[in-house]
Structure 1
Amino acid sequence: MATTGGPSSPLNIPPELKKEGSDWFAVFNPKVKRVLDVELIHTLTHESVVCCVRFSADGKYLATGCNHTAQIYDAETGIKTCVLSDESADKQRDLYIRSVCFSPDGKFLATGADKQIRIWDIEKRKIRNIFDGHQQEIYSLDFSQDGRLIVSGSADRTARIWDMVDGTSKILSIDDGESDGSGGPNSVANPNATATDAGVTSVVISPNGQLVAAGSLDAIVRIWDVNTGQLLKRLRGHQDSVYSVKFMPDGNELVSGSLDKTLRYWDVGGIGSGGASGSGSLVKNGKGDKGGLCTMSFTGHTDYVLSVAVSHDANWVVSGSKDRSVQFWDAKTASWQCMVQGHKNSVISVDLSPVSSLLATGSGDWEARIWSYNNI
């Protein structure tokens, strides 16, 4: 399994290996050829912690989630175009919007905060649907590329697949006897886990709409079949909670980020029918299954990895960390290309534009930022 070290302190770095802005800097890896340039484009000031950032499918807009409001910005100009706030919510209590996701046609924005998923009509600035069912806070949302389904992950230890037309849902439970948190042989993935520690932190639907992957507090990544709801695979390797999962564009690989300070790259092409080469047959859990092998580990962050993203050309993996940095990794080799630092608190969320070379970051410093990254 490939593994490579991360950047050292920015002190004493030769000028050709660093770039400095007014309130940010980038450091480039001296051991690999420099092929990227990074630039800060916009700083978007918010009124609370920025919990999540997400580009629209056409890359024209960026949505952010913070306390009580979701906001939409023009990604090119940085101008705020829309603020969405549920007027019926109790303003005296915190209501952090932990996940936002545009529908593929750009007409709707799904937000997850408390136990409800709110589907907003962006043009009308009004709630179109509310999906009820989760028993605890919602941490993550993702639309299928055809816009027909939305998947959610919650602290209640379940993921759900929702039908956008009729609002019905299918429960994907992680209470599968493998992570009971009792300290017995089944809880080796995270020895510090307790029975309530299996909350679902991150969900993603594969590009072809066949698989759902979820990261969990119990350090396991699980993959289900969308159509049947059957659990197909558990990906083990992380030593602490998994906070973020993303499929590569072809659906044959998956990237995960963890509180163990690492990212992992998984071959999932043989699981179910999720990959481009999938046969459509279900894969039984057990030894000798096709797919599910960790092929690379990305090491270099000095604190929790809180969010991961992948570029539309499949060349780059980007991660945001509690160490306040963003790192660009070569998706083929797991070597780091550059480390960007500008936020004054944890980088809670990162996203890459689906069509262009833009990066968005959201932080505990009450700012979201839009960056460009370009080949040189």
Structure 2
Amino acid sequence: MHKSLAIALLAADFLACATAHGAELRGHGGPVRAISVAPDGKTVATGSFDTRTIIWSLETGEARDVLLFHEGEVTAVAALPNGRFASAGADGRIAIWQTGRGEPAQILEGHTGPVADLELSPDGSMLASASWDTTVRLWPLAGGLARVLEGHRTNVNALAFLADATLVSAGYDATVIFWPSQAGAPPVRAIMPTPLNALARASGDRLLVAGADGQLRLLDRTCDE
């Protein structure tokens, strides 16, 4: 699954390219904070400062669902298996949506600060969330208690999964943390020279990290730096 481009702030009124029917996408009422494309490439979810999550058809250019749940801006969205999407907000809550339904199929609560990023595990069974409450949480989508990962000192801003299912988080404390998939195993930390805002897997064990100093850095887990 491709990582959602959750760090972009897009124009509030965005229009689709002309389609065969001349359709245009109906714009959000505020800046768009997050976007995630479904694995089939036919549907996309957007989250906005206007508190709405919109599910769009990329084939027709129409909004399939306009979803209201969060108290405040929607800060992250993620495409999930079986036509579902997740949205997260400044209210610290995560909603799981089934396309065509106006109410959340599931609500995940536990964070005490805004959720900055969402990431689906490679096998599609777990949803990871990063929050400004300094924690990362791993939610089993089949149900059950979340695994709470504590190690950052300030806001956790971004997440990525490596191919072997290792979860990686980046925070404003300038730290990248590699969380092992086995509970109880110690995490591995890499200290960067700047507070971090964004993270993406490049290939294999390599990651791209970016932060407050405006630079993009390539981080390789196999290097002893």
TM bracket, shorter-chain basis: 0.7 to 0.9
Tell me how far 1:334 sits from its aligned partner. 6.2
2:77 corresponding residue in structure 1: 203
Q: Given the alignment, which residue of 310, 321, 330 partners 2:180?
A: 330
Q: Equivalent residue of 1:219, what SS?
A: coil
Q: Distance in 2 between matches of 1:205 and 1:341?
A: 30
Unaligned runs of 5+ in 1: 1-55, 66-96, 100-111, 121-128, 180-197, 270-290
Q: Deviations over 1:293-334 (max 9, x none)?
A: 3331110101011111112332x1111111111111112316
Contact preservation (8 Å) 2:26, 2:62: no
Tell me how far 1:118 sits from its aligned partner. 7.0
Q: How does 1:210-249 map to 2 (within 5 A)?
A: 210-249=83-122
The one-letter amino acid of 1:305's match is V
| 1:131–1:311 distance in 2 versus 1, CA, 3 Å | farther
Say whether 1:136 aligns with 2:30: yes
Query: Which structure has more RCO (C-alpha within 8 Å, separation ≥ 6)?
Result: 1
Q: Distance in 1 between matches of 2:212 and 2:102?
A: 35
1:114 corresponding residue in structure 2: 11
| 1:334–1:301 distance in 2 versus 1, CA, 3 Å | farther
Contact preservation (8 Å) 1:322, 1:347: yes
1:157 corresponding residue in structure 2: 51
Q: Distance in 1 between matches of 2:7 and 2:74?
A: 13
Q: Deviations over 1:147-186 (max 9, x none)?
A: 10111111111111111111111211115xxx5xxxxxxx
Tell me how far 1:130 sits from its aligned partner. 7.2
Say whether 1:349 aligns with 2:190: no
The one-letter amino acid of 1:356's match is G
The one-letter amino acid of 1:364's match is A
Q: Equivalent residue of 2:187, what SS?
A: strand
TM-score (norm 1): 0.53
**Count of residues paired in the alignment:** 218
Q: Equivalent residue of 2:153, what SS?
A: coil
Say whether 1:311 aligns with 2:162: yes
Q: How does 1:1-376 map to 2 (within 5 A)?
A: 98-99=7-8, 112-117=9-14, 131-169=25-63, 170-174=65-69, 179=71, 198-206=72-80, 208-269=81-142, 291=143, 293-314=144-165, 316-333=166-183, 335-344=185-194, 346-353=195-202, 356-374=204-222
Contact preservation (8 Å) 2:54, 2:66: yes
Aligned-pair identity (%): 22
Q: Distance in 1 between matches of 2:10 and 2:60?
A: 21
Q: Distance in 1 between matches of 2:89 and 2:173?
A: 21
Q: Which has the larger radius of gyration?
A: 1
Contact preservation (8 Å) 2:154, 2:171: yes
Tell me how far 1:230 sits from its aligned partner. 3.5
TM-score (norm 2): 0.86
Q: Equivalent residue of 1:349, what SS?
A: strand
CA root-mean-square deviation:
2.8
Q: Deviations over 1:195-246 (max 9, x none)?
A: xxx211000001x342111111001111111243441111111111111111
2:20 corresponding residue in structure 1: none
Q: Distance in 2 between matches of 1:130 and 1:261?
A: 40
Q: Deviations over 1:313-360 (max 9, x none)?
A: 32x11111111111111123164432112242x21111124x522211
